[in-house]
Structure 1
């Protein structure tokens, strides 16, 4: 659905009028197009020590460039293809497309001042759609108080900074677990995702990399080449966008949806050159039927995306079983049952990926959505507990939590309410289905093997709270 207000304040006479009146002016977001450069201008890397040097070398090395002395034996593969114009100190006349603050060596809150204030000097000159990314370690109970204070301070700093950025710029953080090098595949892949146009509607988020697992792709444009991915609820909306992006990234897609959506499902499968499976995911044998189809048609199964979902919104005081039970059945009971079938089948043995669709309602709640929020909160708990079961096979389970996304469902919201919902995030607009799909594709990739049991929000950063 088109955001008419966004178009008006970014074109012609209405753009000038909006500026004169001081109206909010959400920017057109920079979204990924195959073949586009990673950034449309220079990057600034701030920080001290070997990790900052390694990140700077990572960003600046040309394809096949030399390894940096601080990088491990896999460095040449890690460095392939970035070839960015990287600065280590702010220049007063440069408009940066990205600022990366490497803060892994923080030992005291005093250490924030130098790199953070250096970054501050560039913020008024950032290019439209710029990226600000922090790289730091998580605060833990084992840390000395000063270390924990410094590390936790980065979380608050990043979330606040993201709310100050304008022009479609975003701020996100890569949180690197203790003992994991900044050159680990999932650290590199997460940094690249946050820098890229694939993360257009991801803002104010901190994603933890838990291990050095994962494998970087030979081709960043086709990181899912050779993988077979199942997408439920694939007939339309977000599910269809997920199928499109997974196929674009090289995957063979099995598109799943209910028989009633058969015509749209066939259209999705034909468009992505995959196969269609008409199936109610709440069926007791849904998992077995998905496995049988994937084995028979494609010989394997590597990725499962639990996207199918429904709402039956009502205030809890007015809730009835016929509204409550279907929501839980589709949104969380079905993924649980399908996962059990997959995990006991012996087929998920080659770095499998499970990605489930949660929601910001499952994190922060939403009036009139108790059943939906319970189901989506359940999804977050499900992936957190399922992930360790996949680790022995090099696998992961993670979730993506969309906020306000422009879909057929949100188009039915009353017009005034819809406009308010669009503006209540740092980017002052709704996201698109492709924004959710990009996050799913990243978590489904072999390079994301070190991101385990996490939930990544795709919400433009809600203006209140996290």
Structure 2
């Protein structure tokens, strides 16, 4: 759906009026397009004293065609000369105190893992304060630390937990120019698994994701990174694939090299078969709530060597709780939650999801923040997050990861039907001041699906432009 407001706010003849009236002027976000560089521009990489993650950060960008700068030794900041001098990177040392207006950065990455006391938190200020205004539009800021619940030292755990407040606040400050900020917590032993999440978060594929916390855990890496076709040779099942977000997911997984099995209900058979044919994939026509659906799906994928399952199918049946019938509650819960559980159980019990497989579930911001008239929907989507958290440990025995995305306001036919004033509020109530696109959800799912995302499990990423509603 067209966002007329954003077009006018950035129009040649109208942008001046919006600025004069102090109206929000959403930046047109830079999104990934086929053939473009995954990562481009100039990066600034820094670290606090005694930080432990700088080497895997440098290794991540060793083959990228980018220019990298790093700060000279400064109080409370690490001296990075030795680390960069041992690499083949095009890296240049700069003085943070001498940053000029012409110095522009497309990304800033800071290793904060060495911040172990409240006094050392000043390293965040010393590093970011001189450079944050030098971010180009639609840039990326990534902060890395250690998860506080894994640390025994109280001061260390306290300092690392503070990174969430810093990163979320910084995201709100830089969102006005389309830039984003993320926090990565890296568990000890998972340092070699940073490439996939770092490359995703630093790229245009994460355009509508901001203020998120991703935890990287120990895992087993399968193969090397194929930047152009990271899902080459993989087979993915996508439910609710005939239109909207589901169609975007199927298209993005196919773009990345996967054979996509598209599933949807009989009423959408024509649309389903069209997209499956266009993507050179397969189609399953099934109602996922029917008693025989899990068996039918299992029989279909038995010869397909299934690697990825994306549970996207879902409905809304909005009523206030006082007016909600048993039917409104039961049907929604069966589609949004119970069917997913039954399908997974069937496929896992029959060992039909390959070792190193990926399960990705679609939750919602409603499951995090709640929503008026959506007690049923919010319950189901909160349960999806709980399911992901609970399943990560038993699935780890088969090296299978499970994660979720929680979309906020995404421009679809469903949101187009929302009354104008409510729709505009939904679009603007985030740090990027605009709605997302189905492809924004799809890109996050494609990241979770990568074989190289072996250390990313049990996470729920909000795709909401840092919605001002919810955590």
Is the structural similarity TM-score above 0.5?
A: yes
In 2, Cα distance between equivalents of 1:85 and 1:438? 29
Specify the alignment match of 1:189 in structure 2.
196
In 1, Cα distance between equivalents of 2:376 and 2:257? 36
8 A Cα contact 1:227 1:252, kept in partner: yes
How do 1:346-385 residues align onto structure 2 when only pairs under 5 Å count? 346-385=351-390
8 A Cα contact 2:235 2:305, kept in partner: yes
Specify the alignment match of 2:461 in structure 1.
456
Specify the alignment match of 1:170 in structure 2.
180
In 1, Cα distance between equivalents of 2:261 and 2:326? 33
Q: What's the CA shift for 1:148?
A: 1.4
Is 1:111 the equivalent of 2:120?
A: yes
| More strand by percentage | 2
Q: What's the CA shift for 1:86?
A: 6.6
Specify the alignment match of 1:241 in structure 2.
248
Q: What's the CA shift for 1:180?
A: 2.6
Structure 1 range deviating more: 241-250 or 105-114: 105-114
Specify the alignment match of 2:37 in structure 1.
37
In 2, Cα distance between equivalents of 1:63 and 1:163? 28
Q: Choose the corresponding residue for 1:150, options 150, 156, 159.
A: 159
CA 1:94–1:20: 2 relative to 1, 3 Å: same
Unaligned runs of 5+ in 1: 65-78
In 2, Cα distance between equivalents of 1:465 and 1:266? 37
8 A Cα contact 1:210 1:451, kept in partner: yes
Specify the alignment match of 1:72 in structure 2.
none
- Deviations 1:75-103, CA, capped at 9 Å, x for gaps: xxxx9xx9676766543331000011101
In 1, Cα distance between equivalents of 2:92 and 2:353? 40
In 2, Cα distance between equivalents of 1:389 and 1:58? 31
Is 1:54 the equivalent of 2:68?
A: no
8 A Cα contact 1:222 1:250, kept in partner: yes
Specify the alignment match of 2:347 in structure 1.
342
Specify the alignment match of 1:23 in structure 2.
23
Is 1:98 the equivalent of 2:99?
A: no
Is 1:259 the equivalent of 2:266?
A: yes
TM normalised by structure 1 equals 0.91
CA 1:273–1:83: 2 relative to 1, 3 Å: farther
Q: What's the CA shift for 1:32?
A: 0.8
In 2, Cα distance between equivalents of 1:331 and 1:205? 24
TM normalised by structure 2 equals 0.90
CA 1:301–1:18: 2 relative to 1, 3 Å: same
Structure 1 range deviating more: 242-251 or 205-214: 205-214
CA 1:217–1:290: 2 relative to 1, 3 Å: farther
Q: What's the CA shift for 1:120?
A: 2.1
Q: What's the CA shift for 1:31?
A: 0.6
In 2, Cα distance between equivalents of 1:201 and 1:453? 21
In 2, Cα distance between equivalents of 1:346 and 1:56? 36
8 A Cα contact 2:38 2:204, kept in partner: yes
8 A Cα contact 1:100 1:133, kept in partner: yes
Is 1:289 the equivalent of 2:290?
A: no
Q: Choose the corresponding residue for 1:438, options 440, 443, 454.
A: 443
In 2, Cα distance between equivalents of 1:209 and 1:180? 6
In 1, Cα distance between equivalents of 2:426 and 2:135? 27
CA 1:86–1:131: 2 relative to 1, 3 Å: farther
Q: What's the CA shift for 1:155?
A: 0.9
8 A Cα contact 1:357 1:399, kept in partner: yes
CA 1:87–1:404: 2 relative to 1, 3 Å: farther
- How many pairs does the alignment contain? 445
In 2, Cα distance between equivalents of 1:39 and 1:85? 16
Q: What's the CA shift for 1:216?
A: 5.6
In 1, Cα distance between equivalents of 2:95 and 2:291? 59
Unaligned runs of 5+ in 2: 66-86
Q: Choose the corresponding residue for 2:231, options 224, 238, 253.
A: 224
RMSD: 2.0
In 2, Cα distance between equivalents of 1:343 and 1:406? 34
Q: What's the CA shift for 1:295?
A: 2.8
8 A Cα contact 1:224 1:446, kept in partner: yes
- Deviations 1:365-406, CA, capped at 9 Å, x for gaps: 111100000110111111222222221221111111101111
Is 1:400 the equivalent of 2:400?
A: no
In 1, Cα distance between equivalents of 2:58 and 2:198? 13
